[in-house]
Structure 1
Amino acid sequence: MSVITELGGSFSPGRVGAMVLRYIYLLRSSWPRVADLIYWPTVQMITWGFIQTFVSHSSAPSAPMVAAGSLIGAVMLWDILFRGQLGFSMSFLEEMYSRNIGNLMMSPLRPLEFVAALIAMSLLRLAIAIVPVTALAVLFFGFNLWGLGLALAAFFINLMLTGWAVGLLVAGLLLRNGLGAEALAWSLMFILMPLTCVYYPVSVLPSWLQPVALLLPPTYVFEGLRALLIEHRFSAGDMAIAFGINAVLFAGGLIAFLMLLESAKRLGSLLQTGE
């Protein structure tokens, strides 16, 4: 009942803005945090970009695929997915580290406003990370991610929805289990990585595993990227399927977060966020 009440309650953009401002001040006060946002995507892009350059010049059978930019494009889209989830989770972990969750939940801030602020910070962190990386990709390898046009918008929305759904689940588990579940913020997306077919088509997977891969929205995004760059074909139908699955996952993640929050309140674990 409380979950239903929360979903239907009043929503204050002002409180969301106040939380976003808090996270911006935290980010601005620590240059290592900003440097970390830019460093890892840049290292990944350059490393895989040079691998792509090497393979395209030394392996003729694979040249059409890698020369089309599908490898470096997949690296950058994967980083959008991972950074979207991590940006959400890291802002939440900031509150866990400072033992501030209990204070926030006793304030007028509503859980949905808290989630909206975490989503906004996920987008801000991602922008800091991905904008310079896309410029470097053009400079080093002549690959323009923005050149994907409207397809990029479809890819981006689906990847972010998946990242936020996973972030909501992780946040709920952190509330319920404390920082003992912190590893999930870093590892859960990598556990899903082999099934989302980031660097290879679904057909590479064993036949019994392919239906499982097709239940994950990012699979459609990475398959769509390869189809766009190699075959010059964009499947709006596949993106619609991915969006439908994402809608279910995001709603499920939100409900799980609210239910785990209620459970944490009942058990009194909001003030005990240690291991």
Structure 2
Amino acid sequence: MIGSMNRIAAMVLRYLYILRGSWPRLLELAYWPTVQMIIWGFITKFFMGHSSWVAEAIGVLLAAVLLWDVVFRSQLGVSISFLEEMWSRNLGHLFVSPLRPYELSLSLMVMAFIRTLIGVLPAMLLAIPLYHYSIFSLGLPLLAFFVGLMIMGWALGLIIVGLILRLGMGAESLAWISIFAFAPISGIYYPVDTLPAWLQPVAWATPSAYVFEGMRAVMFEGVFRWDLWGGAMAVNAVYLLLATLSLLLAFKSARERGALLQQGE
């Protein structure tokens, strides 16, 4: 009995050491409850002061959910496609070939686009018979919103790939949790002016805030806001530039450390 308890205690201690040695894992423990509390707190605050929106709530919320999934699937498509190489320990084999980092990046983005279409189109179509709501009623602006959110997802995915190259497989959980840090400040379910004044400039530093404000303008005012679209694409350009630079620097560091051939925690 004592020996069994000692072995159990030893295994618990092992897992505690693993947890202590990986800040992404520690972050994940408190991450989901905190993000959910913040998002639904702002949603409640918004609807309490805008009861006139309640009648349109289902359309607004469904459109928001479906478009947010574009960002999530796009980012996850880049990250997971790269992690497939890590899990199969194939990264070293790829880079003994003539493959260049930018070629890998472009292939990850193309794959993310394909995965996103496969993921979101059935949900968009299923919303029609289930809720009598078609996101395609947004018309051509839907394509603009899709492109803006897709590019944002690409940029975030490339940044995560760079972090995994730099930090090792202990950072792989970032592929699932990092995108939700943007959810409270993206104005997905409520306008940006619902946020505290000090947080609004942070929100406007995200492409998604411009896209979702533009979505509401189309739905409630019947106008496509070119200024919001331009803002989204400008911020996306910055994101994509920073993502590319961070990935190239991480790749250079991983190659110098020999991490392309062996990745661990």
Specify if TM > 0.5.
Answer: yes
Q: Distance in 2 between matches of 1:187 and 1:63?
A: 30
What does residue 177 of structure 1 align with?
A: 167
Alignment partner of 1:102 is 2:92:
yes
**1:60 deviation in Å?**
6.1
Unaligned runs of 5+ in 1: 1-54
One of 150, 153, 171 as aligned partner of 1:160: 150
* More deviation, 161-170/228-237: 228-237
- Rg larger in structure: 2
What does residue 274 of structure 1 align with?
A: 264
What does residue 238 of structure 1 align with?
A: 228
Q: Distance in 2 between matches of 1:115 and 1:95?
A: 13
Counterpart residue type for residue 225 of structure 2: S
Q: 1:60 to 1:249 in 2, by over 3 A?
A: closer
Q: Distance in 2 between matches of 1:122 and 1:151?
A: 21
Detail structure 1 runs of 4+ shifted over 3 Å in the superposition. 59-62
Could you say what the CA RMSD is over the residues aligned between the two structures, in angstroms?
1.6
One of 191, 196, 212 as aligned partner of 1:206: 196
What does residue 63 of structure 1 align with?
A: 54
What does residue 223 of structure 1 align with?
A: 213
Summarize the alignment of residues 132-147 of structure 1 with structure 2, pairs less than 5 Å apart.
132-147=122-137
Normalising by structure 1, what TM-score?
Answer: 0.76
**1:220 deviation in Å?**
0.6
**1:197 deviation in Å?**
1.3
Alignment partner of 1:88 is 2:88:
no
What does residue 115 of structure 1 align with?
A: 105
- Identity of matched residues, %: 46
What does residue 23 of structure 1 align with?
A: none
**1:157 deviation in Å?**
1.0
Per-residue CA shift, 1:86-129, capped at 9, x if unaligned?
01110000001011111111111111111111111111111111
- State the secondary structure of the residue aligned to 2:190: coil
Counterpart residue type for residue 238 of structure 1: L
Unaligned runs of 5+ in 2: 1-46
* More deviation, 128-137/84-93: 128-137
- State the secondary structure of the residue aligned to 1:197: coil
Q: Distance in 2 between matches of 1:266 and 1:200?
A: 46
CA contact (8 A) 2:74 2:150 kept: yes
Q: Distance in 1 between matches of 2:113 and 2:143?
A: 14
